[in-house]
């Protein structure tokens, strides 16, 4: 060994060192965690969009039911039910899908049927495409519209979603629909329209 000259470090390296492998594993792990986070965020955003679409369709459904039944008596029933909570709406005496009903009876049936649609099914039976802790609010203005006049209707559907709670409408006005019953992550859809009141 004394007679051998010093040649320094090897001129070529073969393979990877353990340190390089560990650094590569750490970088891959951090990258995979980022991808998992993005997938979870995308899923949550997708569920929120689906709930908003569902709620919009349900509100439009009630507004169209009201459009088909715009008598003063019916609008009075719709307007009297300022809050539609599925567990608090009694089943009407008549099923207006099977028998002919008066406008007021049809309005009561519409409210009951809509309340069943906005709720998620908790008992056995066919699945419902409702929303969690859903509650509807209806405002008819003027309160008792006269035949031949114009009445405006606003329907709000609130539910427990995900993310931060919403408290104001599109014009900055406070929305209280469901605020007492939905403590966190309250979401809502609000639509308005006008009707010519029939006699």
pLDDT tens column, 14-54: 667 888 888 999 999 999 999 998 998 888 888 889 999 99
| pLDDT at 128 exceeding the cut of 80 | no
Residue 35: inside a domain, yes or no?
Answer: yes
pLDDT at 8: 58
Residue 10: inside a domain, yes or no?
Answer: no
The average pLDDT across 57-62 equals 96
189 or 120, which is more confident? 189
| pLDDT at 1 exceeding the cut of 70 | no
| pLDDT at 117 exceeding the cut of 80 | yes
pLDDT tens column, 80-110: 877 888 888 888 988 998 999 999 999 999 9
| pLDDT at 121 exceeding the cut of 70 | no
Q: Which class for 149: exposed (0-12), middle (13-18), buried (19 or more C-beta within 10 A)?
A: exposed
pLDDT at 165: 85
Looking at the structure of the chain, the number of domains it has is: 1
This prediction's pTM: 0.79
pLDDT at 135: 93
Q: Which of 57-71, 112-126, 136-150 has the lowest mean pLDDT?
A: 112-126
Residue 46: inside a domain, yes or no?
Answer: yes
Domain residue limits at 175: 20-197
Residue 128: inside a domain, yes or no?
Answer: yes
pLDDT tens column, 163-197: 788 888 888 888 888 888 888 889 999 999 999 99
Residue 63: inside a domain, yes or no?
Answer: yes
């Amino acid at each position: 060994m004394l007679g051998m000259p010093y040649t320094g470090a090897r001129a070529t390296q073969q393979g990877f060192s353990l340190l390089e492998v560990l650094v590569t594993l750490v970088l891959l792990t951090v990258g995979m965690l980022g991808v998992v986070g993005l997938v979870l965020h995308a899923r949550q955003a997708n569920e929120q969009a689906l709930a908003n679409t569902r709620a919009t369709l349900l509100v439009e459904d009630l507004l169209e039911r009201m459009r088909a039944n715009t008598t003063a008596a019916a609008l009075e029933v719709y307007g009297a039910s300022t809050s539609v909570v599925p567990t608090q709406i009694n089943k009407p005496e008549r099923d207006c899908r099977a028998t002919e009903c008066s406008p007021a009876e049809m309005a009561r049936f519409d409210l009951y049927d809509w309340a069943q649609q906005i709720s998620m099914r908790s008992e056995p039976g066919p699945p419902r495409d409702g929303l969690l802790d859903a509650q509807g609010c209806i405002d008819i203005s003027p309160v008792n519209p006269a035949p031949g006049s114009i009445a405006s209707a606003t329907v709000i559907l609130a539910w427990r979603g995900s993310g931060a709670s919403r408290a104001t409408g599109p014009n900055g006005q406070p929305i209280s629909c469901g605020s007492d019953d939905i403590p966190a992550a309250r979401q809502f859809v609000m639509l308005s329209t006008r009707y010519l009141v029939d006699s």
